[in-house]
A and B are shown apart, each in its own frame.
Chain A
Amino acid sequence: MGLCCQIQNVSFRYIQPWVLQDCSLEVTEGEILGIIGANGSGKTSLLKLMAGLLQPQKGLISLQGQVMATLSPREIARRVALVPQESQVLFPFTVGELVLMGRFVHQNGWSWETPEDLCIAQQAMQVMDVAQLADRTFQELSGGERHRAVIARALAQQTRILLLDEPTAFLDLKHQIEIYAILKGLNRERGVTVVVVSHDLNLASQHCDRLLLLHEGRPFRTGQPDEVLTAEHLRMVYGCEVLIDHHPTAGTPRITLPHTESVRMTQR
């Protein structure tokens, strides 16, 4: 298993305060890595750095052995697909048209979609359960449908690395389970490396091989879910007490928020 993304001593800031400081991370090929942390801990920025959308002020990011800064947007997008947290489409593009845009990196210039492009886009839409929405405009869709359409577009990009920012944020329970089932399927059967930013610690715990817990722009702990998700770590990072036991069937750490009364008690 090689390294597919290497982040070495990266620091990043938009204007003044550092969002990420001296951050190092190695993403191994074929793993599902979860990035967790409190609001503003730099999760999304880290994901955008890995997708080449942001450039670090300090440090080095390499992608499949090549320094990110030397790669063109096209070369990056052939290696990494990013599913952003929210997508807005101003003009009335249909779901089909949007998913086909995922084929852009594999097409040249002013050309028409090949039957292969159409086929791959179609399959991506079937996988994400949006094929029946192909001729609807993006604006007409519900939040969850939009999110699935955008994930379908990332699948159509056919990259070896898939980055997702809160992939389950707008989804109902059924589609939450399905998203992770699909991500696991891509990962186990096709060897796609998946990096997921998640607020949902339980989903991350259950589905990720490894977790990175960020705290104030620095990696706080990296390791397997049961190494990272301890009551002590979470207290230090999130500033609150949580109950941790095990998932009844998966056996992975399960986080439960304490009863409201007891929170008030501890705050006093």
Chain B
Amino acid sequence: MDIPIRAGAHPDVSFLPALTVRRWVRSLAVLTAVALLGVVLCLQFGTERISLSEVVRILLAPRGAVADASGVNAAVILWDVRLPRLILAFLVGASLAAVGVALQALLRNPLADPYILGISSGAALGAALALQFGFTWAIGGFLGEQLSAFLVAALTIGAIYRIAIADGRIPVQTLLLAGVIINAILSALILFITSLADSTSAFRLFFWLMGSLATLGYGGLGALAVSVAVGVGLLCSQARNLNLLSLGEDPAQGLGLDVERVKHVIFFTTALLTGVAVAVSGLIGFVGMIVPHAVRMVSGPDHRLLLPAAALVGGTFLAIADTVARSLLAPTELPVGVITALCGGPFFIYLLVSYRKGYQG
């Protein structure tokens, strides 16, 4: 069907508010620069303050080439303690934010986040089991508790999926309900294990449950970075599909989307990212819900920009939050989940008030 065009009419399309390549590139370039800058600035802080000029000097110098004794110490702290931890925080934050964006579109619920489906509780149960029964093996840089967390998270996803799926379809309401039920069962199991544990493991588990970024070697970081890159990349490839899906399943299918196939892709990708993130970081709330919200207010709801932007912002946000958690009461370390909630809340209120009228960035 052609739309009737008035003779000689040449419609002006320049003002159509569509996402342009230029705006996409510019936005993501700015966010990448902010992320890099944020990480460099965060490197200064910790138990011991390292000045910014020192940080830059160590980062630019080839490894092992820093001359004086204090410099060597600082270089070790920077390269082996702070940088891996910042990268870990960034990867976890990016995963949680990207998963939050995808789940909010999939479930058409702005309150959805990686935890609502109970996947995190599965991971937590896995870690609790490992800590209680003393699995100490490690594969590819991952600790036993992390591997166990990931495995149980994957089993949880499988269980939720099997419960929710009916006639090859995954109705959203059933999915949410299955998540809530599984969550309740798993939480009870975690409490049961915690009550069995001796005080040391119980404390460690408690800390992990609150969300903390334990150090992961570069080997583990590499594996994590690959999983996160694959997951976030897959989600970004579904960006336009997510735009349609966020209108509802019927309208999306009416516009030509193979809804069930897209739901399967989104479901498994978010499961992978959540499992990986929770396994290495515990339960860090708030990032997956607040970051997508905040970014959407500025970037608009088009997932082609929203998804990568939220991943970058989520990563930067968690890197900064973890730095604050480490250095605020140094040498005492706060759970990063406390910081994310305390920083994220007021920031969200500020955004809500500022951008209430116009969502256009």
Which residues of chain A have a CB within 8 Å of any CB of chain B?
48, 51-53, 72-74, 76-78, 81-82, 84, 87-94, 96-98, 100-102, 104-105, 107, 109-113, 115, 118-124, 126-127, 134-135, 137, 153, 155-160, 162, 185-186, 189-190, 192
Contacts and interface: CB of A to CB of B under 8 A. Distances in A.
- Among A124, A127, A162, max chain B CB count under 10 A is at A127
A92 B300 contact: yes
Given A96-B17, A110-B239, A127-B3, 19 more contacts: A53-B254, A73-B256, A77-B253, A89-B247, A90-B246, A91-B110, A91-B296, A92-B359, A93-B300, A93-B302, A96-B18, A97-B17, A97-B302, A105-B256, A118-B18, A119-B11, A121-B13, A122-B13, A190-B1
Given A52-B253, A81-B254, A137-B359, A100 B16 contact: yes
B13 A118 contact: yes
Interface residues of B, number: 43
A159 B20 CA distance: 26
Contacts of B360: 94, 135
Contacts of A155: 1, 3
Contacts of A51: 254
Contact of B11 (A48, A52, A123): A123
A110 B304 contact: yes
A14 B179 CA distance: 25
A192 B16 contact: no
Interface string B320-361: 000000000000000000000000000000000000000110
A53 B246 CA distance: 17
B1 A192 contact: yes
Contacts of A53: 250, 253-254
Contacts of A124: 3
Interface in B32-82: none
A115 B13 contact: yes
A159 B110 contact: no
Contacts of A156: 3
B28 interface: no
B110 A160 contact: no
A47 to B, nearest CB: 11
A190 B4 contact: yes
Nearest to A126: B11
A117 to B, nearest CB: 8
Contacts of B21: 112
27 contacts: A48-B250, A53-B254, A73-B253, A73-B258, A77-B254, A82-B254, A87-B247, A89-B247, A90-B246, A91-B110, A92-B301, A93-B243, A96-B18, A97-B300, A104-B244, A104-B256, A105-B256, A109-B237, A110-B236, A110-B239, A113-B18, A118-B16, A122-B11, A123-B5, A137-B359, A158-B1, A158-B2
A160 B256 contact: no
A120 B11 CA distance: 9
B259 A73 contact: yes
A33 to B, nearest CB: 16
A51 B256 CA distance: 10
Contacts of A76: 256
A70 to B, nearest CB: 14
